[in-house]
Amino acid sequence: MITVALDAMGGDLGPSVTVPAAVQALSHFPELKVILIGDHSTISSQLSALGTQPSERLSIQHTEKVISDSEKPSLALRHHHGSSMGRAIDLVATHQADACVSSGNTGALMALSRFKLKLLPGVERPALISALPTSSGGRSWMLDLGANVSSDAEALFQFAVMGNCLVEQYIHRRPRVALLNIGAEEIKGNDLVKRCAEMLSETQSINFTGYIEGNQLLSDKVDVIVCDGFVGNVCLKACEGTAQLFIEKLRTSITSKSWKGWIAQKLFSSAFNALKTLNPDQYNGASLLGLRGIVIKSHGSANVEAVTNAIGEAIQQVKLQVPSRISDRLEAILLERHY
Amino acid sequence: MITVALDAMGGDLGPSVTVPAAVQALSHFPELKVILIGDHSTISSQLSALGTQPSERLSIQHTEKVISDSEKPSLALRHHHGSSMGRAIDLVATHQADACVSSGNTGALMALSRFKLKLLPGVERPALISALPTSSGGRSWMLDLGANVSSDAEALFQFAVMGNCLVEQYIHRRPRVALLNIGAEEIKGNDLVKRCAEMLSETQSINFTGYIEGNQLLSDKVDVIVCDGFVGNVCLKACEGTAQLFIEKLRTSITSKSWKGWIAQKLFSSAFNALKTLNPDQYNGASLLGLRGIVIKSHGSANVEAVTNAIGEAIQQVKLQVPSRISDRLEAILLERHY
């Protein structure tokens, strides 16, 4: 069995999303156990409303506090005792859970995870990675999505190594690794990116394919896209904002005329399904790499489907033993670079 | 009359796009004169193919060379003599043209413009600005889109002042100015953005509304979005890539079934028109701010419509006397800050 600790209070909608997601995940994944962490009575009511109750596979751990979205990471570090997020990570640190999932405050989640789980040997900074949908219906992965607000070339290089290691497990071949830059030509870009490109070019065991530009993020050109956390965060959100705007425009235009909407759905279901693959909720489940434990970050605005996907991501990483693989790979590559 | 020098050789498709765009712009804007700069015989053939020829409002200046997209800015600075882009900027520097438009190599265009036109007094770095479509059908403006690969807080502040000054002319009210950041809360973000936010908060004459995140780039929340050139470039391209992917998915799904396509066009013309406002070609015409002259950068992949829009942007900036307004405004704000 795989045990996932779920911060039931995290996210914009808290237990009204996380509890149904836990129930749905339990039916999807027979090997799953969920520990719901948060206010016992709210969680119990949500379970009752869904016609279910705690069981061998679904337990509740009561906590009093919630770390708010506006809490500074430094304050969260001091006041995490008795919080749903803090407890979820504690369960991983003490091996009572195999992974934790939270839709709460990203800064606090990263600070607490780093403090409680510690970095893997050789890792300087953790990184947030997530899958993006690609134009052909596949996936690529991008990191760092905001675990750090600034990075040096060595950190970017480590992100590439960690991303390479994770994605290799998913796609079962050598991932094509690229650096996000403002131009595809070698002459462009800032010093940070150029220095990291040199380091990656010298590393035989990574299939570094060069630079890609922002308009190719959703293409099928590469498998791992590496960038600093500030750039990754704003870029991913820019893609999401654009996708949401498109979906909204289509929806408004169609639902405003009901018989047209009916015809539209009959005629264009394939187009709508294609657009759905670009919906942020479909690819929820970013994860923090570089820690001695598995931490999955769900969007604050994630819906039931999205939190269920995040739990699925946690299960997959547990099966793949991601942290120990990253540690082994990083050690090998650091040896390759230094000798 | 307003004279625009058009680098006819710039862009992926060169004269086959720029020449029809010039002809179209001349019919749209009765006050316009265009000087087409580039290979005389290619331009002449294009004109003949369109059933037109040089006139009082449309002249050709022959040049032998084209600055390639892969040419380093430093090399372009040494070898620009006799190039179409170099000549276009020269005409502005010598007041033979009021503005120039190029779809060529951005790095070279910025380096040559800065070298030939010089910075306005008080400006430390030029910035590339462009309009984005917003969800309500309006526009917002974003800078820097890649004139610089790294910036300090003072440079970001100057971008805000320049963007504010331009956009004020367009929207006829005080623009809402925001900084692009990885979180809307004050606690988030890197030091660069935080320092610039302090400077903007202290500046009475700018309506600084705080931070916005990447998913709000196309919202109606703000009028001017300020960020460093690396971030702006990848973000804008990320939006474009997402928009193009959506348009492509819809198009493929519809044209693959021709009778459905016919019905779709009849039923959903309003939806398609709404989506068209998110098409990058519709909002082409970035401009370089901070120079003693008007330089409009069109996309390398811009089509005829887009290059025509870029010429329209040049005309508008000439009428608004953008460089001298920026200079006056910057001087006033620097005085406000220092006394």
The total of other beta-carbon atoms located within 10 Å of residue B194's CB is 17
Residue B277: which of B243, B301, B316, B302 has the closest Cα?
B243
**pLDDT at res. B148:** 84
**pLDDT at res. B191:** 84
CA distance B267 to chain A (A): 7
Inter-chain CB proximity B217 and A238 less than 8 Å: yes
The radius of gyration of chain A from alpha carbons, rounded to an integer in Å, stands at 20
CA distance B26 to chain A (A): 32
**pLDDT at res. A181:** 92
Question: Which of 143-182 (B) contact A at CB < 8 A?
Answer: 146, 149-150, 180-182
Question: Which of 280-299 (A) contact B at CB < 8 A?
Answer: none
Q: Which CATH class is domain B1-121+290-305?
A: alpha beta
Cβ atoms of A205 and B230 within 8 Å: the answer is: no
A257's enclosing H/E stretch is none
Q: Which residue of A has its CA nearest to B137?
A: A249
**pLDDT at res. B183:** 67
**pLDDT at res. A295:** 97
Backbone angles phi, psi at A224, to 5 degrees: -130, 125
pLDDT 10s digits, A112-135? 999 999 999 889 889 999 988 888
Residue A155 has which token pair? 């950190």
CA distance B258 to chain A (A): 12
Inter-chain CB proximity A234 and B180 less than 8 Å: yes
Q: Where residue A273 falls among pLDDT bands split at 50, 70, 90?
A: low
Start-to-end CA span in chain A (Å) = 42
Inter-chain CB proximity B264 and A268 less than 8 Å: yes
Question: Which of 107-126 (B) contact A at CB < 8 A?
Answer: 107
**pLDDT at res. A51:** 95
Q: Does B258 touch chain A (CB under 8 A)?
A: no
On the 0-12 / 13-18 / 19+ scale of CB atoms within 10 A, B87 is: buried
Q: Which residue of A has its CA nearest to B147?
A: A182
> How confident is the model over A34-54, as a mean pLDDT?
96
**pLDDT at res. B122:** 85
Q: Where residue A147 falls among pLDDT bands split at 50, 70, 90?
A: confident
Inter-chain CB proximity A239 and B242 less than 8 Å: yes
Q: Does A77 touch chain B (CB under 8 A)?
A: no
Which residues make beta-bridge pairs with A226?
A: A143, A179
Inter-chain CB proximity A215 and B182 less than 8 Å: no
The radius of gyration of chain B from alpha carbons, rounded to an integer in Å, stands at 20
CA distance A81 to chain B (A): 21
pLDDT, averaged across chain A: 88
Q: Does B229 touch chain A (CB under 8 A)?
A: yes
Domain A1-123+290-300 has CATH 3.30.413.10: no
Inter-chain CB proximity A238 and B240 less than 8 Å: no
**pLDDT at res. B301:** 82
CA distance A57 to chain B (A): 36
CB pairs under 8 A between A and B: 175
Inter-chain CB proximity B253 and A274 less than 8 Å: yes
Predicted ipTM of the assembly: 0.84
Q: Which residue of B has its CA nearest to A180?
A: B234
Q: Does A263 touch chain B (CB under 8 A)?
A: yes
Q: Does A70 touch chain B (CB under 8 A)?
A: yes
Q: How far apart (Å, rounded) are the C-alpha atoms in residues B231 and A280? A: 21
CA distance A205 to chain B (A): 28
Q: Does B50 touch chain A (CB under 8 A)?
A: no
CATH number corresponding to A125-288: 3.40.718.10
Inter-chain CB proximity B268 and A248 less than 8 Å: no
Cβ atoms of A6 and A34 within 8 Å: the answer is: yes
Positions of chain B with pLDDT under 50: 186
> How confident is the model over A180-204, as a mean pLDDT?
82
Domain B124-287 has CATH 3.40.640.10: no
Q: Does B239 touch chain A (CB under 8 A)?
A: yes
Q: Where residue A248 falls among pLDDT bands split at 50, 70, 90?
A: confident
String of b and e for B283-307 (b: at least 16 CB within 10 Å)? bbbbbbbbbbbbbbbbbebbbbbbb
Question: Which of 3-42 (B) contact A at CB < 8 A?
Answer: none
**pLDDT at res. B253:** 61
**pLDDT at res. A330:** 87
**pLDDT at res. B90:** 97
CA distance B331 to chain A (A): 30
Residue B278: which of B311, B314, B242 has the closest Cα?
B242
Domain boundaries, chain A: 1-123+290-300, 125-288
Among the partner residues B238, B248, B254, nearest to A235 by beta-carbon distance: B238
Inter-chain CB proximity A135 and B185 less than 8 Å: no
Could you tell me how many residues make up chain B? 339
Among the partner residues B189, B242, B271, nearest to A149 by beta-carbon distance: B189
Q: Which residue of B has its CA nearest to A213?
A: B234
CA distance A32 to chain B (A): 33
Number of H helices and E strands in chain B, helices first, is 12, 11
Among the partner residues B69, B231, B270, nearest to A253 by beta-carbon distance: B270
Cβ atoms of B134 and B195 within 8 Å: the answer is: no
Residue A237 has which token pair? 């959100």
Q: Does B184 touch chain A (CB under 8 A)?
A: no
Q: Do domains B1-121+290-305 and B124-287 have the same CATH topology?
A: yes
**pLDDT at res. B211:** 92
**pLDDT at res. A187:** 54
